Structure 1
Amino acid sequence: MITALDEKTALVLIDLQKGIVGYPTAHPMAAVLANAAKLVAAFRKVNLPVVVVNVDPGRFKSLHTRKDAQQRNMGEIPAEWFEIAPEIVTQPGDIFITKHTWSAFHETAMDAELQKRGITGIVLAGVSTSIGVEGTGRAAHERGYNISFAVDAMTDTAAEAHERSLKYIFPRMGESGTTDDIIGQLK
């Protein structure tokens, strides 16, 4: 349940890019994208920032484990793989972050961009719930941001992973609610 949003809250969309939204997921991607787009419109209506995060998995520059080396061997990735899904209409005033790990904070300008705008809270949405969303949520929590999770604007490749994050991890970091719950708290 969402009890409140900070006056200075940003919407953070994780990995809603063409190369990822086509993967099989636990929940219909069309509904996830529709709810994310609804959040974008609501945040813009009240002049709050929208952060659009994509991932470039071919450039895990700072990671050196055997597992990371396997992930780096993805071969040539077409440029459109990185483009944001067309359902998420971006604008020049949006904040664009390209991450290279699970967290949008690791070795990116994310924290600096939020800090210079005085942001104290974030609403997280996107894919995958247990990887990009949870990884970014953990990093945001460690940095002192108040976090709200838009549970109907996120999904995972496995229902069990999605549910685990919602049931066990997110309640330790913030509040969870639907897109409509969050929009109801915007002022």
Structure 2
Amino acid sequence: MITELDQQTALVLIDLQKGILAGDKAHPLEDVLKNAAALVDGFHNAGLPVVIVNINPGGAAWTRSRKDAQMPASKKPDDFTEIADEVPTRPDDIFVTKHTWNAFFETELHNELQKRNVTGIVLGGVSTSIGVEGTARAAAELGYNVSFATDAMTDRVLEAHHNSLQYIFPRMGESGTTADILNKLK
């Protein structure tokens, strides 16, 4: 349950990009994008920072390491990193390209948030158990108050989505719906 949002809270949306959004998800993608757009509008109207994160794993060290599930070697489409048209970004939003699951690792995200005195973040995006959870873990380690917009995120694996929501996120922050979060902005 979302009890409150810090006065300086940023919205951080993970990997809502054209190259990631294809495929089945735990929640209907249209609903996730609609809720993400409502959060963006709400944060813009409140004068709070909006962070739009995409991923471009090309050449990152983790893509070359041994693991059971290998990354497909297929060529990415030209629009792979482009943010979905449904997400209403502005030029003054913070845009971050990550190369791993964690939007803080080897990016300027923490510095950008610190410049704006941000102490809390609201997270949404895809995939719940990968990019959102990876970023949430780092945010919690850095001392941010973390809130999860549960209806503005999804995962390709329903069980993984539910595991993050039920067992992982309660250890790092508070969870609620887009409506819950927008009500706390007022």
TM-score of the pair, normalised by structure 2: 0.95
Cα 1:69–1:179 shift into 2, 3 Å: closer
TM superposition shift of 1:44: 0.4
Instruction: Tell me what 1:179 maps to.
Output: 178
SS at match of 1:41: helix
| Matches of 2:115 and 2:28, distance apart in 1 | 36
Instruction: Tell me what 2:52 maps to.
Output: 52
What is the aligned-residue identity percentage? 63
Can you list the C-alpha shifts for 1:19-74, whole angstroms capped at 9, x where unaligned?
A: 11122111100000000000000000010010000001223146652139942x52
1:37 corresponds to which letter in structure 2? A
Is 1:25 the counterpart of 2:32? The answer is no
1:61 touches 1:100 (CA, 8 Å); kept in 2?
no
2:27 touches 2:154 (CA, 8 Å); kept in 1?
yes
SS at match of 1:80: coil
Farther off after superposition, 45-54 or 76-85: 76-85
SS at match of 2:183: helix
Unaligned runs of 5+ in 1: none
TM superposition shift of 1:75: 3.5
SS at match of 1:91: coil
Farther off after superposition, 94-103 or 75-84: 75-84
Is 1:153 the counterpart of 2:152? The answer is yes
TM-score of the pair, normalised by structure 1: 0.95
Instruction: Tell me what 1:93 maps to.
Output: 92
Instruction: Tell me what 1:6 maps to.
Output: 6
Is 1:119 the counterpart of 2:146? The answer is no
SS at match of 1:123: strand
| Matches of 1:20 and 1:63, distance apart in 2 | 16
Q: Which structure features the higher share of helix residues?
A: 1
2:44 touches 2:50 (CA, 8 Å); kept in 1?
yes
Can you list the C-alpha shifts for 1:133-176, whole angstroms capped at 9, x where unaligned?
A: 00000000000000000000000011110110001000000000
Can you list the C-alpha shifts for 1:69-118, whole angstroms capped at 9, x where unaligned?
A: 942x5242122011000000211100000011100011011101101110
Instruction: Tell me what 1:103 maps to.
Output: 102
Is 1:82 the counterpart of 2:81? The answer is yes
| Matches of 2:76 and 2:120, distance apart in 1 | 34
Instruction: Tell me what 2:138 maps to.
Output: 139
1:58 corresponds to which letter in structure 2? G
Instruction: Tell me what 1:43 maps to.
Output: 43
2:16 touches 2:54 (CA, 8 Å); kept in 1?
yes
Large movers: runs of 4+ above 6 Å: none
**How many residues were matched structurally?**
186
